[in-house]
Amino acid sequence: MEKILCPKCKGVSIKNGFQNNKQRYKCKLCNHRFQQQYTYRAYHKDINTLIKSLLKESCGIRSISRIIGISAKTVLSRMLKISKQIKPPYFQKLGCKFEVDELWSFIGNKNNVTWITYALEQQTKAIIDFIVGRKTSENIRPLINKILLLQPSRIYTDRLNIYPRLIPNEIHKRFQYCTNKIERMNLNLRTHIKRLGRKTICFSKNEKYLEAHLRIYFWG
């Protein structure tokens, strides 16, 4: 008789009753319960990868729901789950040049403007980190401090008056073309993330969904 292996840990599984007239199994090692075949598409093994791809290709939550054939609430919960499993890459190269910029969006409704502030390493275009919230010294300081730990040779920003108070003058540069790469990334974000589009009815209902979407786009 063919052994049924657990999809999580590959342990040997045993029969564990029925659900909707379909045989269920239980793993002897991790106690994970599962079916060999699922009717609802959300349980297909490649569905999370498909959700990630669609989120990066300017598809809104309802669009993904229609394409895949699962509910919008399930798409949102999966997006949060996927983002929690993503960790920012560990960047340890010292003496690099960084660009920092802000991007506006909406939370809840179009009267509630929020800002995405993030840092990009100029040579590799790696995203070091980002924060979502108001453009204040308290919000932006943790991001700048994280960059300063990498002993940057230069930090390029726009002319926002907060940065001179946070960045040492000897490494801080502000002029017209110093943030070309991150400005191009801003265009990519508005093109590839529907909730960031300038002329769209799509926007984030909650800050946690915007943060989850950005984590998936930057590092997923």
pLDDT, tens only, 126-138: 999 999 999 999 9
At 122, the pLDDT band (50, 70, 90 cuts) reads: very high
Which pLDDT score is estimated for 42? Answer: 76
* Paired sense of beta strands 127-133 and 33-35, if any: unpaired
Residue 199 has pLDDT above 90, yes or no: no
Structure tokens at 191: 């093109």
Percent residues over pLDDT 70 in the chain: 99
Residue 143 has pLDDT above 80, yes or no: yes
CA-atom Rg of the chain in angstroms: 22
- Report the distance separating Cα 26 and Cα 34, nearest Å: 7
Domain 97-210 in this protein, CATH class: alpha beta
Residue 176 has pLDDT above 90, yes or no: no
Residue 216 has pLDDT above 80, yes or no: yes
Q: Which helix (H) or strand (E) holds 132?
A: strand 127-133
Least confident of 42-51, 78-87, 173-182: 42-51
- Report the distance separating Cα 34 and Cα 191, nearest Å: 39
Calculate mean pLDDT across residues 35-40: 75
Reduce the DSSP state of residue 81 to 3 states and report it: helix
Which pLDDT score is estimated for 1? Answer: 60
Residue 41 has pLDDT above 80, yes or no: no
pTM: 0.83
List phi, psi (to 5°) of 26. -130, 130
Which pLDDT score is estimated for 26? Answer: 92
Report the chain's mean pLDDT, rounded to a whole number: 92
Evaluate whether 57 touches 192 at the Cβ level (below 8 Å).
yes
Which pLDDT score is estimated for 171? Answer: 97
Residue 78 has pLDDT above 90, yes or no: yes
* Paired sense of beta strands 97-107 and 12-19, if any: unpaired
Residue 117 has pLDDT above 90, yes or no: yes
